[in-house]
Structure 1
Amino acid sequence: MNAATGPVTAMPAAMADLPLLARIHAASFTPDQQWDVPALGTVLAMPGVALGVAMAPAGGRQVVAGFIMVRAVLDEAEILTLAVDPAFRRRGLARALLAWMADMAAQQGIARLFLEVGVGNAAAWGLYRDAGFEEVGRRRGYYPDGSDARVMAREVTPPPDRESGG
């Protein structure tokens, strides 16, 4: 298998990953939207927050190439941020992170997922739409530059009932 096209996996992350994740976030967002290590650490320390990383092959080994941060409250969860290293885009990492997060949410009894995405971010909007999210509202002037955000949501498919053998 070619190292550039090998498998992509998503898994839980740890505090030790934060410096690398901050670099990925900085490469993925405008300066007014970037989260540094202290910001990531503050959010990660909040109740109900989970952090997942996407691993991708590079140079004959698996490396952290993207991440997703999600906050769950009761039976709902919100994607706080999702970022993929520009060198690893268009390889399915964001989809793997969304699938990991949806599986985790289902196992925790989450019924609905939410996120905000800039109205001008067509690539992200398409990714989320393809992952089953639908626009449910707008947040006017949501971003520091004054642009609006689409509020998107999707239902979570419950895990198979293990007691019935499903």
Structure 2
Amino acid sequence: MTEDDLPAVMAIERATFPLDAWSEGMMRGELADMPRTRHYVVALVDGEIVGYAGLAAAADQADVQTIAVLEKHRGTGIGSAMLTALLAEAGRRGAREIFLEVRADNPRAQAVYRHFGFEEIGVRRRYYDDGTDAIMMRRKLDG
């Protein structure tokens, strides 16, 4: 992902996370830390950005910062492909485990993460701006 991708990325961000979307400034801050501690990717279909995902990595830990796919492209494997790319990057950076938070009211995303070997390790009460809990998940990486 580059700053040139931000208009499309921010449109997806606002559509996917209407109640707690990141600001463009927050996203620019994430990009400013690439490649030092961040790794962001976009997914293209016919030249159009239809999804994006980001990773934070430091020492032997990594965190999935975000994954979003336009609604009409969900269920097509795009999110899984981006998660696979993030897991591979975390491994390249020497991470031994990777963490994420997922909305408690998003069973579809939770199922994807479980399919990728993530396990629930706790709950962050009222984590999201609308008061929804976050399920904390972790996956150990081979290494």
TM-score by length of 1: 0.80
Unaligned runs of 5+ in 2: none
Unaligned runs of 5+ in 1: 1-12, 159-166
Question: What is the CA deviation profile of residues 50-74 of structure 1, one whole-angstrom value per residue up to 9, with x for unaligned ones?
Answer: 1011222xxxx33221111111111
Within 2, Cα distance between the matches of 1:27 and 1:150? 22
Partner of 2:41: 52
Q: How many residues align structurally?
A: 141
Matches within 5 A, 1:1-166: 13-30=1-18, 32-46=19-33, 47-56=36-45, 61-158=46-143
Question: What is the CA deviation profile of residues 116-144 of structure 1, one whole-angstrom value per residue up to 9, with x for unaligned ones?
Answer: 01111111111111111110111111111
Within 2, Cα distance between the matches of 1:29 and 1:127? 18
RMSD over aligned Cα, in angstroms? Answer: 1.3
Opposite residue 100 of structure 2, the aligned amino acid is: L
Structure with larger Rg: 1
Question: What is the CA deviation profile of residues 24-73 of structure 1, one whole-angstrom value per residue up to 9, with x for unaligned ones?
Answer: 1111112x3112322210222235011011222xxxx3322111111111
* Deviation, structure 1 residue 94: 0.5
> Percent same amino acid at aligned positions?
33
Opposite residue 120 of structure 2, the aligned amino acid is: E
